[in-house]
């Protein structure tokens, strides 16, 4: 089993999806991407996740982020499942779902050797240049928290735009609320200036308005 690591380019893959053939990461450029795998179609936890991703799709759109699902089920299974979700749950799944082969899923670390052929609940957040920026793993028994994935994308975008770090639970941190953290000083001179330039608990922990 292998998988791309943080900071790696997402591997080039030609895939079949419910919206037609795709080439990753070429077809992702210019947008942030949340690529998430699920163990199987027509399963309860996965169904709740897909409904939640769709319910939050507008929020992903607003932050220039596209959603792509993936499992080892064939395309016809994906199509039938999203038809069932629309008919029974009155939710139309608008994002593509990739039909992965065992080899493809293993190549990107979405198959756990102890879980048979089912893909695990993996999430890759990929930036507009095709670079993997965040990887999240969940067991089959636990559904994902979609607002946390949105928060992670927003935090990455904030970090890239301003060269800062974001605190725990940002933008609702217990110490500095929605403020952001200044990168650590790299020499004695800049360390001495820090407390005069920013609000700080100490020179190594300074923050500012986002």
User: What does the alpha-carbon distance between residue 34 and residue 144 come to, in Å, rounded to a whole number?
Assistant: 13
Quick: pLDDT tens for 18-59: 999 999 889 988 999 999 999 899 999 999 999 999 999 999
pLDDT of res. 118: 61
Q: Environment class of residue 1 by beta-carbon count within 10 Å: exposed (0-12), middle (13-18) or buried (19+)? A: exposed
Give me the pLDDT at residue 1, please.
Answer: 46
Asked if 53 contacts 146 with a C-beta cutoff of 8 angstroms, the reply is: yes
CB-CB contact of 38 with 71 (8 Å): yes
How confident is the prediction for the chain on average, in pLDDT? 92
**Strand order in 65-71's β-sheet?**
20-24, 13-17, 97-99, 65-71, 32-37, 121-126, 132-138
Q: Is 46 a catalytic residue?
A: yes
61: number of CA atoms within 13 Å, CB side? Answer: 7
Domains of the chain (ranges, CATH numbers): 13-152 (3.40.30.10), 163-210 (3.30.1020.10)
pLDDT at residue 206 tops 90? yes
Q: Read off the pLDDT of each residue in 167-184 and give the average, rounded to a whole number.
A: 97
Q: What mean pLDDT comes out for the span 124-137? A: 95
The Cα–Cα gap between 82 and 94 comes to 9
Q: Which of 46, 188, 200, 206 is catalytic?
A: 46
pLDDT band at 160 (very low <50, low <70, confident <90, very high): very high
Among the residue ranges 84-98, 100-114, 187-201, the one predicted with the least confidence is 100-114
Grouping H, G, I as helix, E, B as strand and the rest as coil, residue 177 is: strand
Residue 11: what pLDDT?
87
- What is the pLDDT averaged over residues 66-91? 96
Query: What does the DSSP 8-state code read for residue 186?
Result: -
Does the pLDDT at position 111 exceed 70? no
pLDDT at 12: 87
């Amino acid at each position: 089993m292998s998988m791309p690591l943080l900071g790696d380019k997402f591997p080039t893959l030609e895939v079949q999806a419910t919206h037609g053939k795709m080439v990753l990461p070429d077809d992702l450029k210019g947008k942030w991407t949340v690529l998430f795998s699920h163990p199987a179609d027509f399963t309860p936890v996965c169904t709740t996740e897909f409904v939640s991703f769709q319910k939050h799709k507008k929020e992903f759109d607003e932050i220039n982020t596209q959603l792509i699902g993936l499992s080892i089920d064939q395309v016809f299974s994906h199509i039938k499942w999203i038809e069932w979700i629309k008919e029974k749950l009155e939710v139309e799944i608008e994002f593509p779902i990739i039909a992965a082969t065992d080899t493809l899923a293993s190549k990107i670390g979405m198959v756990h050797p102890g879980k048979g052929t089912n893909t695990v609940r993996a999430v890759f957040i990929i930036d507009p240049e095709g670079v993997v920026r965040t990887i999240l793993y969940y067991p089959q028994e636990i559904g994902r928290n979609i607002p946390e994935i949105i928060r992670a994308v927003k935090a990455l975008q904030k970090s890239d735009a301003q060269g800062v770090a974001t605190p725990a639970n940002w933008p609702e941190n217990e110490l500095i609320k929605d403020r952001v953290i200044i990168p650590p000083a790299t020499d004695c001179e800049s360390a001495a200036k820090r407390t005069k330039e920013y609000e700080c608990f100490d020179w190594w922990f300074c923050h500012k308005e986002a």
